[in-house]
Structure 1
Amino acid sequence: MDNIVSLLTTTEGRIGRQQWWIGIVVLIVISIVASIILGIISLGNATVMAWLAVLLNIALIWPSYCIGIKRRHDRDNDGTDLKILIAGSLILNLLQATGIGVTMTDMGGVMVPVPAIWLGVINFIFAVFAIYMLVQLGFLKGTTGSNSYGADPLDAAA
């Protein structure tokens, strides 16, 4: 349990792909459970749910940053691209919550947020960047041996 806590709360050192995926799975489970609870709390009100989603995003920023930055360090990278990913996620979340660039449309009796074209383009660009980051964080091997951020986590595991 201490390993999971330090994985999600510290930014020093490096982690390998396996530890990153473990951290991501933990965050996904937390996110799903919290989303279900928030969905119940919001009573189906899309505006309330959008603002609760912003709060959930804010709550998960630090643990997401911690596992991401250690993974970027494993690839001998300072993590600037990770900061862009996290900031972009929060900005897009805030745009949806405030209704900027979103029109509520009736789809068979259910009000659904439909993004404006400009917001759809931004979402598409962000999705491409997020896929790039997924490949960087979850699939590419880290630097073999020590780098400027510490010892190889695979050497320490052996």
Structure 2
Amino acid sequence: MATNLDWTWMFTSPQGRIERGRWWIGVIALLVVAAISTVVFGTDGLVAFIIAIALQLAGLMLHIKRCHDRDKSGWWCLLLLIPFVGFLWALIDLGLLEGTPGDNRFGPDPLARAEV
């Protein structure tokens, strides 16, 4: 995995693919930001609401790219709306299983790019 992360692309674009390692880094980063936000702004009010929406959208972009690495449409992320099942799906399919080796319909293999 390459050490340079494009944080903006990771959290704002649904395009491309992302390998497991970067996905985990992104998930952990979002959890840390959410925890800090909760401590600083609480869970009520407009600022907390806007931050929560922004974090949800950032997580969705991250998950879509990981689906793409597994050669699945981003629509699979709708499973996240199902309590417990969505969490288990994300943990296993996005967090543990390997991506599609080589290029697929969503772009080049991110692991091949990282080795260059």
TM interval, shorter chain, is 0.7 to 0.9
Is 1:70 paired with 2:27?
A: no
Q: Does 2:78 correspond to 1:83?
A: yes
Residues 1:36 and 2:31 aligned together: no
* C-alpha RMSD of the superposition: 2.2
SS at match of 2:14: coil
Identity %: 36
Q: Does 1:14 align with 2:20?
A: no
Number of the residue aligned with 1:155: 112
Change (3 A) 1:129 1:83: closer
Give CA-to-partner distance per residue, 1:70-124, whole Å, 9 cap, x none. Answer: 1000000002121342xx3xxxxxxxxxxxxxxxxxxxxxxxxxxxxxxxxxxxx
Partner of 1:60: 55
TM-score (norm 2): 0.83
Return closer, same or farther for 1:56/1:7 CA change in 2, 3 Å cut-off.
Answer: same
Alignment-mate amino acid for residue 8 of structure 1: F
Aligned length in residues: 112
Q: 1:118 — aligned with what?
A: none
Kindly indicate whether residue 92 of structure 2 is the aligned counterpart of residue 135 of structure 1.
yes
* Counterparts of residues 79-118 of structure 1 (less than 5 Å): 79-85=74-80, 88=81
Tell me what 1:26 maps to. Answer: 29
Shift of residue 53, structure 1, vs aligned partner: 5.8
CA-CA distance at 1:26 after TM superposition: 1.0
* Structure showing the higher strand proportion among its residues: 1
Mark the runs of 5 or more structure 1 residues left unpaired by the alignment: 43-47, 89-124
Relative contact order, higher structure (CA 8 A, sep 6+): 2
Tell me which amino acid in the other structure corresponds to 2:109.
D
How far does residue 128 in structure 1 lie from its aligned partner after superposition?
2.6
Structure 2 unpaired stretches of 5+: none
